[in-house]
């Protein structure tokens, strides 16, 4: 729960995506599903844009014009309340889709803000072209349905955790998820590759920064984790899992 950060608005760099076969594109399931021919066509309609720290991909309330895919880096989806508190609903990773949904339909506006975490690269496509693509490719449409269903389950699981669990359990759940979704092996356990400050974690589980710090300090003392932000390592995943559901 933080007040809004101040930003120095820079212009993001936009460029036509290379129709050749840029590295990273094979991490995107939706594109993998298409025939080589359709993929080329779709890539021709997509633009790659890079964003840096402090920029916004779009903000809550902006009109929805594009469908997006994360190509590189992580993007956080944030909503904020009138009194300036904010919460992070989801961290998108390469291959994740956004604005693939209803808001993109009836001329509505973005229900939340999309913010890069560090340097990111995003592919985007006019929503009209996106809809056309879905209508023409039942496989792509099915993939989007599958994807949205997963996101819905995830969001409901998150709601359940927020509704029923204590702060320390919610934080433990977060750490377990991070380990499983963005963890790599490390001599001391599992290293989380997304850079997350205590404040970021606080925003992800609906507590204040102080509370997140205190709980993480306890976890550290109990040898469940080490390090902060850039060097966060999960040392005892089983115990965290246990704590998350106890």
Partner DNA sequence: CAAGAAACATGACAATAGTCATGTTTTATT
Partner DNA sequence: AATAAAACATGACTATTGTCATGTTTCTTG
DSSP 3: P
Question: Which of a second copy, DNA, none does 213 bind, CB closer than 5 to 8 A by kind?
Answer: DNA
Q: Mark 170-209 with x for binding to DNA (rule: CB under 7 A) and - for no binding.
A: ---------------------------xxx------xxx-
Q: Which is nearer to DNA, 22 or 227 (CB)?
A: 227
The nearest distance, CB 213 to DNA, in angstroms, is 5
Interface with DNA (CB under 7 A), residue total: 21
Q: Which is nearer to a second copy, 112 or 116 (CB)?
A: 112
Interface with a second copy (CB under 8 A), residue total: 49
The nearest distance, CB 233 to DNA, in angstroms, is 13
Q: Mark 142-161 with x for binding to a second copy (rule: CB under 8 A) and - for no binding.
A: x-xxxxxxxxxx-xxxxxx-
Q: How many other C-beta atoms can be found within 10 angstroms of the C-beta atom of residue 223? A: 12
Six token digits for residue 177: 């998820």
Backbone angles phi, psi at 123, to 5 degrees: -95, 140
Beta strands 66-80 and 189-192 are unpaired
Partners of residue 58 on adjacent β-strands: 114
Is residue 21 a contact point for a second copy (CB under 8 A)? no
Partners of residue 190 on adjacent β-strands: 185, 234
Six token digits for residue 141: 């449409």
Q: How far is residue 48's CA from residue 39's CA, in Å, rounded to a whole number?
A: 15
Q: Looking at 73, 112, 116, 183, which residue binds a second copy (CB under 8 A)? A: 112
H and E: helices and strands count for the chain = 8, 10
Is residue 216 a contact point for DNA (CB under 7 A)? yes
Interaction with a second copy in 175-214: which residues (CB under 8 A)? 205-206
Distances (CA, A) of 127 to 46, 93, 94, 169: 11, 21, 20, 39
Positions in the binding site for a second copy (CB under 8 A)? 1, 77, 79, 81-82, 85-87, 89-90, 100-105, 111-112, 131, 134-136, 138, 141-142, 144-153, 155-160, 162-165, 205-206, 245-246
């Amino acid at each position: 729960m933080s007040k809004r950060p101040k930003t120095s608005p820079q212009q993001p760099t936009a460029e036509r995506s290379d129709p050749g076969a840029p590295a990273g594109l094979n991490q995107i399931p939706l594109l993998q599903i298409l025939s080589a021919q359709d993929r080329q066509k779709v890539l021709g309609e997509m633009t790659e844009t890079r964003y840096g720290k402090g920029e916004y991909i779009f903000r809550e309330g902006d009109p929805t014009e594009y469908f997006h895919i994360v190509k590189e880096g992580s993007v956080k989806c944030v909503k904020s309340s009138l009194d300036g508190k904010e919460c992070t609903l989801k961290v998108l990773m390469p291959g994740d889709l956004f604005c693939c949904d209803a808001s993109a339909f009836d001329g509505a506006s973005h229900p939340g803000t999309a913010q890069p975490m560090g340097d990111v690269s995003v592919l985007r496509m006019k929503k009209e072209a996106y809809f056309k693509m879905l209508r023409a490719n039942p496989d792509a449409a099915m993939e989007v349905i599958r994807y949205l269903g997963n996101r819905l389950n995830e969001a409901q699981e998150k709601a359940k955790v927020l509704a029923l669990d204590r702060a320390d359990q919610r934080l433990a759940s977060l750490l377990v998820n991070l380990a499983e979704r963005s963890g790599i092996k490390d001599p001391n356990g599992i290293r989380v590759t997304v850079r997350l400050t205590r404040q970021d974690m606080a925003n992800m589980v609906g507590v204040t920064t102080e509370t997140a710090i205190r709980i993480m300090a306890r976890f550290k003392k109990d040898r469940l984790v080490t390090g902060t932000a850039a060097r966060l390592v999960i040392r005892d995943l089983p115990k965290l899992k246990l704590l998350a559901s106890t």
